[in-house]
Amino acid sequence: MLPGVGVFGTGSTARVLVPLLQAEGFEVHALWGRSEEEACGLAKELSIPFHTSRSDDVLLHQDVDLVCIYIPPSMTRQIAVKALGIGKNVVCEKAATAIDSFKMVTAARYYPQLLSMMGNTLRFLPAFVAMRQLLVEGYVGDIQVCDVRVYGPSLLDQSYGWTSEELMGGGGLHIVGSTIIDLLSYLTGHRAHRVHGLLRTFVEQNNLIRGIRRVTSDDFCFFQMLMGGTGSSGVCCTVTLNFNMPGSFVHEVMVVGSAGRLVVRGTELYGQRNESKCEELLLADISGVGPEVKEMPLPHLQGLSSMVKALRQSFQAHEERRLWSQGPVASAPTFEDGLYVQTVVEAVKRSSISGEWVCVEIMSQEPDPNHNLCEALQRNKN
């Protein structure tokens, strides 16, 4: 028996997600938007019976047992933590800061029986599932280098909003780079321990964002990660993100090892062993999801479709709507993975400012918000 779904968000992901959920047999009972007009318009378009601009109206809806959160990062933590506290299963996008991510991890640990899953759809893309299996089987031998290139048009919204603000989670590093950081950890089985990065904002104003408004989020990012062991036993990763290329989209992930290489271009997997003379197609694009939509590149669209199928398989084996099985979503990123990713993102930002390599240190306890005040009071006493 599939759970009823409540969706937070009226952006491009929500527009694509709802039809995919409905196609897999989920009933979407409620939709939240930042305004009544936004929520009403999309609810009518997608045949959702209830809409609101009040978050509690969705979280307390009696028919909603699974909450999908696709809203600005600065709002994600509040909704996700509250949803888990009420007893809802949660699938959500990234938070804005490592502190927000840590609070989400704490809530997930407190309610382990509930599904708490980050929505990085690339983990579910068949090409990356196959790539990971081949890496485990030793197709490339010992993994040495990962090289990622993502080029595309601007990520900015039509008007000034969170995508324009670095502090609100906007920018190529946070929006796209975070999915790549998580993907590389999934593929290699390692986590980054040192990073070095460079962020730039080449387009600070455009025809829609001008006057006193300026874009602070990055539209170009290059960063390196050292993953796994130290010295020659580790994996070297380079990632280049460029969102100043209108009309085109390039998404290429290459893993090179001692015995060969694997590369996913778009949604297709290619490979070549050292003894081979040419590259071979290992997995063609046969998903049949449909054409690429304007709002979402094909790798993310097909990954999202596969993720929804996995959710259906996870829930359908149980008569109780809130119960789920780990197996079909075992590869999904957890809230703890989300904390790791956000920690790496913030380390890359610090590196871009300092120009130096930065160690990745994952938060183990929430910082005291009054730490500086307490230090000042202690100094005064002395």
pLDDT of residue 378: 61
pLDDT tens, position by position, 183-193: 999 999 999 99
pLDDT tens, position by position, 145-180: 999 999 999 888 877 888 888 888 999 999 999 999
The torsion defined by the Cα of 7, 38, 82 and 102, in degrees rounded to 10, comes to 90
Average pLDDT over the chain, rounded to whole?
92
pLDDT tens, position by position, 247-262: 879 999 999 999 999 9
pLDDT of residue 232: 67
* Whether the Cβ atoms of residue 238 and residue 180 lie closer than 8 Å to each other: no
For residues 334-353, give the mean pLDDT.
97
Q: Which two tokens stand for residue 158?
A: 């039509």
pLDDT of residue 377: 58
The model's pTM is 0.92
pLDDT of residue 380: 61
Q: How confident is the model at residue 212 (pLDDT cuts 50, 70, 90)?
A: confident
pLDDT at 266 over 80: yes
Question: For residue 319, is it left (φ>0), alpha (ψ between -120 and 50) or beta?
Answer: alpha
What are the Cα distances from residue 202, in Å, to 109, 151, 159, 185, 251?
Answer: 41, 14, 18, 29, 21
pLDDT at 211 over 80: no
